[in-house]
Amino acid sequence: MPIAQTDLETILREGFPDAEIVIEDLAGDGDHYKARIVSAAFAGLPRVRQHQLVYAALKGRMGGELHALALETSAPL
């Protein structure tokens, strides 16, 4: 059930058009990623809300076809 890195990036870009997004494939298996997302959408939100926005953009894939996605979110300085 893995997901290609380019697909993951496309999905995240759709959700956060303004964002700076850096994705790393941690295990090389298309199933364990790390994403750093810097978007104005996160400004002023607690981390839980920031990550919930990312999970919402992933439309249910998280925990399903995407097993592990380490998230680092922040608003632009």
Residues near another protein (CB under 8 A) are 47-48, 51-52, 55, 60, 62-64, 68, 70-72
3-class SS of residue 26: coil
Whole-angstrom distance, CA of residue 40 vs CA of residue 66: 25
Shortest Å distance, C-beta 5 to another protein: 19
Shortest Å distance, C-beta 63 to another protein: 4
Q: Return the number of the residue (20 or 72) whose C-beta is nearest another protein.
A: 72
Q: Strand (E) positions, 1-77? A: 20-25, 32-38, 68-74
Q: Return the number of the residue (22 or 68) whose C-beta is nearest another protein.
A: 68
